Structure formats: structure tokens, C-alpha cells
Amino acid sequence: MLPPYVKIVEVGARDGLQNEARALSVASRVEFIRLLGETGVRAIEVGSFTSAKRVPQMVGSGEVLKSIQRNNGVGYPVLVPNLRGLEDACAAGATEIAVFAAASETFSQHNLRCDIAASLERFAVVIERAHAADIRVRGYVSCALGCPYQGAVPSAEVARVAALLYNFGCYEISLGDTIGVGTPRQAQAMLERVAADIPLEKLAVHFHDTYGQALANIYAVLQLGVQVVDSSVAGLGGCPYAPGASGNVATEDVAYLLHGLGLHSGINMPQLLRAGDYICKQLGRRNHSKVAAAWSNRKPLQ
């Protein structure tokens, strides 16, 4: 049964920009976030307090967080890999963070430079400290439908990692198909396994579109009752540590799907198209959203 309302978590300003060749200025990122804030999305991931050497596109995330105009009812989470990142996020005024573990041992070594067990021990402390500072924590589980290094990932392992993050205190767990290899039935089977341990209303999905399956996967899990979907305007993004991973599913395309299904998302499509148009011009790249391409031929953006 389809849910009446679906919350979109816009990840373009973090997960989208982190894999782009061109690093944008703080001012451009702040303007991008301002435009996203006018689209009706209820959460905008605005930056990452990770190593400047490893993810140079996210340099200045503290300045971005301090400079953005915050809209009532909109969350502005930032990604945090460790206690140092949490301290920097707190100093910049963060009220919500996200932590990220992997369901693949090999990917964990490449992305976090430690095994899954060590990463979870680290995040348990980060989450505890964040809660002590009255900061909400969202959890990500990468490689939920496949790993670029080891191939298939057992759903039981996805469920184990997700349950630990949830039990540590993450208010929501986003299940990520990091390399976009999943298909609808696989997505449903994985979700059903994780939902056996975590309430369905506490789960979100994060699909990349490498094989063109992201919208189909979203529709498949919506039928199981998922109510939160991560997406990136213009289909920006990918993962620096996942060879072959293409961009996230485009927010424009997700919103169009939801509207077509009669599901409320709160998204204002013209405003969303403006945000996508702006960021693509800043990056000097084309918009990968099918909806944006169709609308650009139909009517000019104001």
C-alpha cells in the first residue's frame, strides 16, 4: 500500500557535489542551498566534515553551515565521520548530523579505512556525544544492494549494520544502493529483511541510477510503505570510493513520479528546476534529470 506522503531528503549539496570535478565556492554553495530551500523539501544535506584531502569539494562546509538561511521546518544535516568532525560541526552550529557505515567489509576499508566493527565502535561514541549536545543523528548504510569490490552483499549483513546504528540512537536509517546495481525485487527483499529488525517508518532509501533502475526501485519500496527517499537535484553525485557509481536519482524525476502516483511531497517543481538549472551552470555540466530536460523544451525557466 502506497503512503500518502513521501519526504524527500535532498542530498545534492553534499552527496551530489562531493563527486564533481569542479569544487564550488562557499558563496555558490550557500546560494544553491537557498534555492533548494524554496523547493519545498524538508531536509537538505548541506556539507561534510570529512578530510579536506580526501573530499576537497567539501572544504568550507563549516562556513556554508554558518552562512545559510535556515527555513522553518527544514532540516540541514551534515555528514560527520568521527569525533573531530562532530566537534567541527558543533562549532559551525549543526543541529543534525549523519554518520555512515557500510555493509561491505571491503568498502568499509576503502571508504573509512577500517573494518565494519571498528567503524561502528567509532560511531557509537559519535552518536552518544551528539545526543549529549542535543544533536539529532541520521544513519547511512552503504552498499545495501551490492559492493564495487566484493559484489553481492547479504541482506542479513545490511540488517545487522542498520540495526546497530538504530540501536545506537540514529532516528532514521538510509539504505544506500551505492553503485546502483539493484533491481526492484532485490530492493524489496533487502528492505523486508531490514524491516524485520527496524520499524519500517524509521527506514529511508538512497538509490543511485547507474543501471537506470532507481525510479523502479523507489516505486517498488513505496509499495511496501517506505516514506522517505534521498535524491539529488539534476542527478548530481556518485561516490569517490565506489568505482563505476554514477549519480544519485534526480529529485526532479522522483517528484514527478510521486505526483503521478498521487502522493504528496510538498515539492514545487518550477522552483526545483530553477535550483537544478543554477547548479548545472555553476558546474558547467548538463542536467541528468529526464524531467528537467523535458521541461526545458516545454517552457523557459524564469
- Quote the pLDDT of residue 192: 98
Active site residue 239: yes
- Quote the pLDDT of residue 118: 95
Query: Does the pLDDT at position 238 exceed 70?
Result: no
For cell 519526504, the residue is 7
Sheet holding 43-44: strands in order across? 43-44, 7-10, 228-231, 203-207, 172-177, 136-142, 96-102, 78-79, 47-48
Burial class (CB in 10 A: 0-12, 13-18, 19+), 88: middle
- What's the pLDDT band for 298 if we cut at 50, 70, 90? confident
Q: Supply the mean pLDDT for the chain.
A: 94
Query: Does the pLDDT at position 203 exceed 70?
Result: yes
- Quote the pLDDT of residue 225: 98
**Catalytic annotation, pick one of 143, 147, 239, 280:** 239
Q: What is the pLDDT of residues 138-161, one digit of tens each?
A: 999 999 999 999 999 999 999 999
Between residues 240 and 2, the one the model is more confident about: 2
Q: What is the pLDDT of residues 285-297, one digit of tens each?
A: 999 999 999 998 7
Quote the CA–CA distance of 224 and 1 in Å, as a whole number. Answer: 6
Torsion of CA 254, 258, 260, 266, to 10 degrees: -110
Query: Does the pLDDT at position 302 exceed 80?
Result: no
The CATH class of 7-298 is alpha beta
- Quote the pLDDT of residue 299: 55
Domain ranges of the chain: 7-298
